[in-house]
Amino acid sequence: MDLTLQPEEVLLLRRILVDYLADLRGEIADTDSYEMRKDLEREEAKIKALIGKLQLRR
């Protein structure tokens, strides 16, 4: 899937993801369930990859 974004949209999306990532890290730290923690860590990795892709498009 291709998604065309304007530069200011890229910045906004990146900021949203970075903010969410900070919240997610807190959730990971507070999670007692091993399975849930692993799911959240996989989500964290995907978000980091997305942020990396957005940085390349600047």
Task: Show me where the domains of the chain are located.
Answer: 7-56
Q: How far apart are CA 8 and CA 5, in angstroms?
A: 8
Residues 42, 5 contacting (CB under 8 angstroms): no
* CB-count burial class (<10 Å; 0-12, 13-18, 19+) for 37: middle
Distances 18 to 1, 22, 35 between C-alpha atoms, Å? 22, 6, 24
Q: How far apart are CA 9 and CA 15, in angstroms?
A: 10
34-58 confidence digits (pLDDT tens): 999 999 999 999 999 999 999 876 5
- pLDDT of res. 58: 57
Mean pLDDT of the chain: 94
